[in-house]
Amino acid sequence: MKYILILIALGAAGILLALFMMGQLSKSGTAPGLVEGKLSTCPQSPNCICTEYPEDVEHYIKPVDYGSANIKVVRSLIRKSIDATGGSMVREKDNYFAATYRSGTFGFVDDLEVRIDETTKQIHIRSASRIGYSDLGVNKARALQLRTRLQKL
């Protein structure tokens, strides 16, 4: 019985160490950025959500329509919404915004990207983990929370 407890403790310590190391690894890298003027597609893993590609039903949510709202107001609300949801802005250029979010326990870093499409009057969102496979729905919840805030336009 004593050996089983030791094995369980060692296994748990190994898992915690692996999660800590993955959290550290996720700190390197950056958001993928725009590809041909659009946000990047999601990988096969479930830890990504994006409004750009409706054909990717597993990773898709609807974009935000901003109608006739002033573009300066739209940009300001995006900045405020990212800040209010715990994001740290790392890049802003024209109608593209990139922010990072860090988990509390192991420090996993996720990337959030927002693109304003002035032609269609839509705001596109992409939220994805930098590392790992599952995120337990964190990125989808974050994108939906941001979308809810932006729909107040």
User: What pTM was computed for the model?
Assistant: 0.84
Tokens of 24: 């550290």
What's the pLDDT at 133? 86
Q: What is the per-residue pLDDT for 32?
A: 87
pLDDT means over runs of 10, the chain (153 residues): 76 62 64 94 96 97 95 96 96 96 84 97 97 90 95 83
In three-state secondary structure terms, 6 is helix
CB hemisphere CA count around 25 (13 angstroms): 10
Name the CATH code of domain 2-150 (choices 3.40.190.150, 3.40.47.10, 3.90.1150.10, 3.30.310.80): 3.30.310.80
Give residue limits of the domains in the chain.
2-150
| Separation of alpha carbons 54 and 28, rounded Å | 30
Contact 78/151 with Cβ under 8 angstroms?
Answer: no
